[in-house]
Structure formats: C-alpha cells, structure tokens
C-alpha cells in the first residue's frame, strides 16, 4: 500500500526530518526586520536538488515568496507555510539559532512557528518526488514571507497574483498541538486612536488634555470586551466541544474566548512631562472577533461609543482587519486530517476555532477550505522555544496520509 510505504519511509528517515528542521532554524529569519532571503535561497536550492521547479516572487525587497508544484490539474492541495519568525529576544539558556536536537526536543527560535511546518512540507515534497507518487491532481508549496507583520507582501500577494496558490484546499503545519486541528480563527481588528489637545501649564489648567480624550475613548470601547456572538450552529458546536480542552492546553480562561469579543490595549502614549497638559496622545487597540461578528460591525460600534464618550475629536484609524472565517467541519480536508491524526495517536483530535490567526485566514477568505495542524510549540515568542521531535514526526505522518487520501485516492 502506498500510504504504508511512505509512512515507513518517513519513519526510517525521521532523522533527516529532524535535521532539516534543525537546519532551517539555524538560518535566522526574524521579523522585524523581515529579511528572509537566506532562508528562501536555502529552500530553493533544496527543492532544486530534488528536481522540483521553484518560482521566486519578491514583490517587496528582502521578502521573497516561493511557489513549487508537483503534478497537474485538480484537486490542487496547497501546503502553505511562512518563512519569517519572531525576533529572538533575550534570556535564552542556549543559542537561539542552535537548532539543537537534544533530549527528544528541537530547540531554537522559530522551531514551532514555523520551521517545523516548513520541514514537513519540504519532506512531503521530497517523498512524492523520490518515490514517484502518482498524483491525481497537484501538490503546491506556497512558502511566504511577511506573515508576522500582516501578510500583505506574502500570502495575500500570492493569492492575488499566483494562480497555483488559489487551490482547492490548504493544509498548514503551523503550531496547533496534535490534540487539535484548526479549522477557523477569530477575526482581528486593530485600531489606532489619536487625539490633539492644547498644551499649557498644569498648575493653571489652561489647556486641553489629549491624554484625557484618548483615555475616555479607551474606557468606552473596553466595555465591549466579553460580548458573546451568535454564529453558525455547526461552528457553535465546535466551540462548545473545544472549551474544556482549551482550558487545559491554552491556559486558564481561554475556553470562554472563542465565541466572545476580546479587547486589549496594546500601546498607550502621550504627553512629554508631568507638569504640562499633553497636546498629543495615542493608543492602539486589538479586537479579536468571534465567528458571528464582522469587523464592520465592531468598528461601527467602537466609533459610536467613542463619539459619545469624548467631546473633543479622537481620530480612529484601522491598520489591520480581517473578519473571522471558519472552514466547515464537514469539509473533505478536515475529515482527512482528523482521520489520519486519530489513526496515528489513537485519540480524538478536535477541530477548533483558534484564538490567534495564521495565514489560513486569507485562504478561508478566498473560499478555500483550510486546516492548520502542527506540533505544539513551547515558549513561542519567548526564550528557549522548542518542539517535541516525536510530535514533528507524528504531524508529518498525518500530513502525508491526508495528502495521499486527497491526491492519490485508492492507492491505500
């Protein structure tokens, strides 16, 4: 059976999978600054060595995107991944780009977000090419820069400009943990609130405080936090099922967040010195929208609340927005990923609505069924990031199974 053959080959070559993940980690691709040229060149050369043609698209200097294809026709399954990662930061107990494979773990910045997913996609492409798997369709690798800073020049650009990336389904090896498969994500709306006042000596109160205006605006919209949305019945069932597991896996209080609006003030600046009435102030606010709400609705209410709360004008600017999108739990790719994952780890794998977003939101917005399934990442964004090597292998095997079930049906 073809699936058994590829799975056995993957297990036999698991050290190569781990080594590839390690090598990817050793090539820094921090964003900011966002330059992924060295990593993209390494991946291009790797695919060239496998005789897999690669397209290099660089709509923004220093942030290339790679697209590679195996097979032709339909269905077209896209394996999506991002090349950039968070900055390493401080506080590491080992070099942040060591890629060390020790004690059953693979260490380094980007290990789970998402060099592991890149290694899985590249390994699958390698297996398909080396074993000459007969595909009844196309396997497309879409590896993008710019994910950590919004995706405008990465996946969004690819979907708008490269036809092969607009596939029939999309599988992403972003971190999830093998207990869950992301079929949807909360929406995002980022607002910048700014106000201008009139400076004056604080003792005489001859001025207009911009800080007071922004503070009143923030208080008004923070009251929107916790609003529960009514979404699609099938999605509501998914959210209800994930609550208990989310509390255990994502942290206390997270089980209630998937179907509620979350509001957080990320930055707040104003004034220059303590004894002057501040003439300028600014705040940036993060909204995470559950399925059933739209950014247009939330923005309209935020503006209404601010206008009621503040006499002098507060300017409201949107600098990031995307509605929540959820792939149907009945979609073929969802069923295939869940079935392959369950067969491997012998436990129920839950479809979930993720609290944070991935590039999957752009595929879903384009009407492409999308699943996110990858190894759990420990200390993501902090020092000593790592993944479990066993989980990386488990994810790779589940991905291989789903790819074959979709693109080589009947091969076993």
Q: What is the CATH number of the domain that holds 387?
A: 3.40.630.10
224 shares its domain with 274: yes
How many domains would you assign to the chain? 2
164 shares its domain with 291: no
Q: Map residue 315 onto helix, strand or coil.
A: strand
* Residue 151 domain boundaries: 2-185+324-407
pLDDT of residue 411: 61
| Separation of alpha carbons 405 and 7, rounded Å | 13
β-partners of residue 56 are 66
CATH assignment of the domain containing 276 = 3.30.70.360
Residue 243 lies in a domain: no
Residue 337 lies in a domain: yes
Cα separations in angstroms, 362 against 75, 80, 166, 341: 19, 11, 10, 24
Residue with the bigger pLDDT between 1 and 152: it is: 152
Contact of 305 with 220, CB cutoff 8 Å: yes
Residue 244 lies in a domain: no
pLDDT of residue 229: 86
Evaluate if residue 220 carries a pLDDT over 60: yes
Evaluate if residue 410 carries a pLDDT over 90: no
291 shares its domain with 357: no
pTM of the complete model: 0.93
Evaluate if residue 322 carries a pLDDT over 80: yes
44 shares its domain with 129: yes
Nearest Cα neighbor of 259 from 224, 293, 213, 286 is 293
| Separation of alpha carbons 63 and 117, rounded Å | 19
Contact of 295 with 322, CB cutoff 8 Å: yes
Evaluate if residue 157 carries a pLDDT over 90: yes
DSSP letters, 5-67, are HHHHHHHHTHHHHHHHHHHHHTS--BTTT---HHHHHHHHHHHHHTT--EEEE-SSTT--EEE
> The sheet that has 187-196: what strands, in order across it?
262-270, 280-289, 187-196, 315-322
Residue 242 lies in a domain: no
β-partners of residue 265 are 285
200 shares its domain with 174: no
32 shares its domain with 82: yes
β-partners of residue 69 are 140
pLDDT tier, 1 (very low <50, low <70, confident <90, very high otherwise): confident
pLDDT of residue 65: 98
Torsion over CA: 169, 173, 178, 182 (sign): negative
Evaluate if residue 313 carries a pLDDT over 90: no
Decide which of 274, 304, 322 is a domain's last residue.
322
366 shares its domain with 329: yes
What stretches of 201-357 show up as alpha helix (H) in DSSP?
210-222, 233-250, 295-309, 332-345
User: Worst-scoring range by mean pLDDT, 23-27, 102-106, 270-274?
Assistant: 270-274
Give the residue numbers marked as catalytic.
84, 147
pLDDT of residue 346: 77
* Residues 334-350, mean pLDDT to the nearest whole number: 91
27 shares its domain with 151: yes
Alpha-carbon Rg for the chain, nearest whole angstrom, is 23
Task: Spell out the long-range contacts of 101-105 with Cβ–Cβ below 8 A and sequence spacing 24 or more.
Answer: 101/18, 101/19, 101/22, 101/389, 104/388, 104/389, 104/390, 105/386, 105/387, 105/388, 105/389
162 shares its domain with 227: no
Evaluate if residue 17 carries a pLDDT over 70: yes
Q: What is the largest CA-CA distance in the chain?
A: 85
pLDDT tens column, 71-123: 999 999 999 999 999 999 999 999 999 999 999 999 999 999 999 999 999 99
pLDDT tens column, 352-380: 999 999 999 999 999 999 999 999 999 99
* Residues 179-208, mean pLDDT to the nearest whole number: 95
Decide which of 271, 306, 322 is a domain's last residue.
322
Contact of 342 with 348, CB cutoff 8 Å: yes
Residue 363 lies in a domain: yes
* Residues 236-253, mean pLDDT to the nearest whole number: 93
pLDDT tens column, 302-312: 999 999 999 77
pLDDT tier, 7 (very low <50, low <70, confident <90, very high otherwise): very high
Residue 151 lies in a domain: yes
pLDDT of residue 412: 56
Evaluate if residue 263 carries a pLDDT over 70: yes
pLDDT of residue 138: 97
Contact of 86 with 109, CB cutoff 8 Å: yes
36 shares its domain with 134: yes
Which H/E stretch holds residue 172?
A: strand 169-172
* Residues 143-161, mean pLDDT to the nearest whole number: 94
* Residues 242-254, mean pLDDT to the nearest whole number: 93
pLDDT tens column, 381-398: 999 999 999 999 999 999
Residue with the bigger pLDDT between 3 and 77: it is: 77
Strand pairing category for 350-354 and 180-185: parallel
Residue 240 lies in a domain: no
Averaged confidence pLDDT in the chain: 95
335 shares its domain with 273: no
Torsion over CA: 143, 146, 150, 155 (sign): negative
Decide which of 269, 292, 322 is a domain's last residue.
322
Residue 388 lies in a domain: yes
pLDDT of residue 383: 97
pLDDT tens column, 51-60: 999 999 999 9
DSSP 115: I
Residues in the chain: 412
128 shares its domain with 269: no
């Amino acid at each position: 059976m073809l699936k058994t053959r590829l799975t056995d080959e993957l297990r036999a070559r698991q050290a190569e999978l781990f080594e590839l993940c390690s090598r990817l980690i050793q090539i820094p691709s921090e964003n900011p600054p966002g330059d992924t040229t060295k990593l993209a060149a390494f991946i291009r050369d790797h695919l060239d060595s496998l005789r897999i043609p690669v397209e290099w698209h660089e709509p923004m200097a220093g942030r290339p995107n790679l697209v590679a294809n195996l097979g032709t026709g339909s269905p077209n399954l896209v394996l999506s991944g991002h090349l950039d990662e968070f900055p390493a930061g401080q506080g590491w107990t080992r070099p942040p780009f060591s890629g060390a494979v020790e004690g059953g773990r693979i260490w380094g910045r980007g290990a789970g977000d998402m060099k592991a997913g890149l290694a899985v996609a590249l390994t699958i492409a390698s297996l398909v090419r080396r074993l000459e798997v007969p595909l009844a369709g196309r396997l497309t690798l879409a590896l993008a820069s710019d994910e950590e800073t919004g995706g405008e020049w990465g996946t969004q650009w690819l979907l708008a400009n490269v036809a092969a990336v607009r596939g029939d389904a999309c599988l992403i090896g972003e971190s999830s943990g093998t207990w869950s498969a992301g079929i949807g994500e909360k929406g995002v709306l980022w607002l910048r609130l700014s106000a201008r006042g009139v400076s004056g000596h604080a003792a005489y109160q001859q001025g207009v405080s911009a800080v007071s205006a922004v503070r009143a605006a923030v208080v008004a919209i923070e009251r929107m936090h916790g609003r529960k949305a009514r979404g699609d019945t099938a999605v509501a069932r998914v959210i209800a099922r994930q609550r208990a597991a989310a509390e255990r896996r994502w942290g206390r209080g997270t089980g209630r967040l998937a179907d509620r609006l979350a509001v957080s003030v990320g930055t707040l600046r104003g004034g220059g010195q303590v004894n002057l009435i501040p003439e300028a102030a600014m705040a940036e606010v993060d909204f995470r929208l559950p399925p059933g709400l739209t950014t247009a609705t939330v923005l309209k209410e935020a503006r209404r609340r601010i206008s009621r709360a503040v006499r002098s004008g507060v300017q409201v600017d949107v600098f990031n927005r995307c509605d929540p999108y959820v792939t149907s739990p009945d979609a073929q790719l969802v069923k295939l990923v869940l079935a392959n994952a369950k067969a491997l780890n012998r436990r129920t794998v839950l479809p979930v609505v993720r609290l944070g977003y991935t590039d999957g939101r752009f595929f879903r917005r384009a009407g492409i069924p999308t699943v996110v399934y990858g190894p759990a990442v420990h200390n993501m964004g902090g020092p000593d990031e790592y993944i479990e090597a066993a989980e990386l292998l488990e994810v790779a095997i589940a991905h291989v199974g789903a790819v074959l079930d979709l693109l080589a049906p009947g091969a076993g």
